[in-house]
Amino acid sequence: MRATYSGLAGIVLSYVSAAAGTKVSSFAGATTTFQFPPAGQTITAPDPAFPDANQVGFAGPTPTGDEADAIATAPTISKFDSVFPLVNPSTADSKSPATGFDVLHNFGNLAPWRSVESSWLGLTNASPIIPAGCSLEQVHLVHRHGARYPTTGAPPSQFATALHGLAGTTGVNVSGPLAFLATWEYQLGAEILTPFGRSQLFDLGVGFRVKYGELLKKFTNLPVWRTTSQGRMVDSALHFAAGFFGVQSYQQDYHQLIQIEALGFNSTLSPSDTCPNANNAIAAFGTTQALKWAAVYLADAQTRLQPFIQGLPLSPSILVAMQQLCAYEVYMRDMVGMMGAYILQTVALGYSSFCDLFTEEEWIGYSYLNDLAFWYSFGPGNPATSAQGIGYVQELVSRLTKTRITDFNTTVNGSIVSSDVLFPFDQPIYVDATHDTVISAIVTAMNFTALAAEGPLPIDKIPANHAYIINNIAPFASNLVGQVLSCPAPANTTSSYIRWILNDAVLPLSGIAGCSANSGGLCPLPSFIAGMQQRISEVDFAFDCFANYTIPDPDTIVTGQYPK
């Protein structure tokens, strides 16, 4: 998907034209890259010198135990909070992570996923564990890709370009906490997963197998799981499958459907490519709102840091880019130290000098910056959001009712959903890999109103009892799980229920028509389906995505739709 701060990059780069010249420094924002394997070195498969395990044989005993079913059999769920081998960065006002402040989980959509408590949205006693007396019939998983390098043209690379342009003209005059910029190099790639990002999806696959492996017994055909064609998307899907099935067999254990992610191709997992208002000023509204907040929470940082760099005004947008660099460098440099002394020459392992330029309060402000950006660009506060998520809702209803979609007036790809082979109805486990902005659009389209209950987010302060937190909603490897359950029920009532779990937090469904408040997040399946069908009828895809309009009063938008 497009970078969250699409408009921010241009603001950072605006200084380059004034600083561009012919003198070039080898440091101060210079870009360096690394490639492996070494040039000219490839593997020929099969290689007679290196036979594979099947050719070698002698595997020893290989009996396999029964499938795990932890989501139903364990007394409590194992909470996930692993950021190994990342190191929690320090801050300007607390030089030791030992204080307990967690910078990593104030990175917004750049944070690593961790288990969130159901009390976050009010279901204090709810648990992802299957309720007593109920049995799990089916599970629907939508997950984000893992940690990646910045998207092309994102603020971090634009900041490096501006800094390097300055070095090529007047030179870089830096001191104090910014002295490191004189020899700092931009070493980040673009778009693809970092090593840590690959580990996230492998871990997610392992965890999902432990929780839901018992459902494999219900399959009569190989699973068909979906992703899109971007490199990080395919990589994430394959690492998830490797974790779920095991590296020796996963390529034979399921079918990987790859949807083309590009303009002109319908995909519910990449809906912005068929929604023009997801790629214009309507979509950039979140950037506009976020930058207003940046001027508030970064005012002290701007005053504090500007004396230590001459020739480059530290605008709020540049300071945001520096905060993003902290996040991205932490993801990269903890892993690439194994490449040797080259990295050691430029930066300490597991550390980014950008992180401790900012105080704890400024990192909290950065987290809220991301909340604003998503709310007003990809969440309840943008009029084109539900339109982007409603295609997945149509597919969900199709799967739940085993009824083929016949109206192709959204982002649904008719050539896929019309096929029994590509879009089967008999799967106990569905897995769809997508982006952070799409997960945000899906939960908006499904009308999970607990996420939007606080109303439009203010741009001058963090509200009390703040709930729309992107750290919780769409971090790297975020996962949204729908559990279809069979539960005891009184006579003449349904015994089928569904509930939704976001990063291990059970979501209230009371905002969905027909789903009443429930301490366990349960909704009768027929009622949920009817509620989703109502949402499909309410969302005007053609208008919200294609109409020529400007953003109306932000206080009038809380459902991701243009106010009627």
Q: Using one digit for the tens of pLDDT, what is the confidence trace for 260-294?
A: 999 999 999 999 999 999 999 999 999 999 999 99
- Residue 246: is it exposed, middle or buried by C-beta count within 10 angstroms (0-12/13-18/19+)? middle
- Residue 3 inside a domain? The answer is yes
Give the model's pLDDT for residue 323: 97
Q: What is the pLDDT of residue 441?
A: 98
499 is a domain residue: no
List, in order, residues 6 or more apart from 181 with CB less than 8 Å away.
28, 29, 163, 172, 174, 309
- For residues 120, 124, 126, 127, the Cα torsion angle rounded to the nearest 10 degrees is 60
pLDDT at site 485: 96
* Residue 135 covered by a domain: no
Rounded Cα gap, residues 390 and 379, in angstroms: 13
Is there a domain that residue 483 lies in? no
The one-character DSSP state at 481 is E
Give the whole-angstrom CA distance, residue 438 versus residue 473: 11
The dihedral of CA 469, 226, 131, 80: what is its sign? negative
Predicted confidence at residue 8, as pLDDT, reads 44
- Tracing tokens 């648990």 back to the chain, one arrives at 127
Q: At what angle do helices 385-401 and 436-445 cross, to 10 degrees?
A: 70
Q: Which residue type is seen at 310?
A: Q
pLDDT of residue 75: 84
Residue 202 is assigned to a structural domain of this protein: no
Phi-psi region of 104 (alpha: psi -120 to 50; beta: other; left: phi over 0): alpha
Number of structural domains, the chain? 1
State the residue for tokens 């090529």. 168
- Which pLDDT belongs to residue 96? 60
Report which of 411, 154, 371, 150 is spatially closest to residue 277, judged by C-alpha positions. Answer: 411
pLDDT at residue 60, as a whole number: 85
DSSP 412: -
Reduced to 3 states, what is the DSSP secondary structure of residue 31?
strand
Predicted local confidence at residue 84, as pLDDT? 84
Contact between 321 and 158 (Cβ < 8 Å): yes
Distance between CA 385 and CA 282 in Å, rounded?
10
316-333 vs 6-13: helix crossing angle, rounded to 10 = 110
Average pLDDT, the chain: 88
In a domain? residue 416? no
Residue 392 within any structural domain of the chain: no
Collapsing DSSP to helix, strand or coil, 491 comes out as coil
Element containing residue 408 per DSSP (H, E): none
Asked if 182 contacts 28 with a C-beta cutoff of 8 angstroms, the reply is yes
One-letter amino acid identity for 352? S
- Beta strand segments in 503-564, E: 505-506, 523-524
Taken in order 170, 173, 178, 183, is the CA torsion positive or negative? positive
The number of residues making up the chain comes to: 564
pLDDT value of residue 172: 77
Distance CA 130, CA 136 (A): 7
Distance CA 136, CA 428 (A): 9
Q: Which two tokens stand for residue 376?
A: 């007003």
Q: Which two tokens stand for residue 326?
A: 């902290």
Show the domain range for 12.
Answer: 1-54+87-109+155-190+284-381
What local confidence, expressed as pLDDT, does residue 116 receive? Answer: 96
Give the DSSP H or E segment for 344: helix 341-344
- Whether 218 maps to a domain, the answer reads no
Alpha helix locations (H) across 276-315?
Answer: 285-297, 299-305
End-to-end Cα spacing for the chain: 28
Residues 6+ positions from 40 with CB-CB distance below 8 Å: none
Tell me which residues of the chain have a pLDDT lower than 70: 1-30, 32-34, 95-98, 333-351, 490-494
Three-state SS at 112: strand
| C-alpha to C-alpha distance for 448 and 500, rounded to whole angstroms | 10
Give 520's contacts (C-beta < 8 A, 6+ positions apart).
123, 126, 131, 499, 506
Supply 287's token pair.
């950037």
Cα–Cα dist 118/70, whole Å = 18
Q: Which residues contact 321 (CB under 8 A, 6 or more apart)?
A: 8, 12, 155, 156, 158, 159
122: left (phi over 0), alpha (psi -120 to 50) or beta: left
CA distance 12 to 459: 21
Picking from 448, 481, 485, the residue whose alpha carbon sits closest to that of residue 467 is 448
Q: CA–CA separation, 386 vs 374, rounded Å?
A: 13
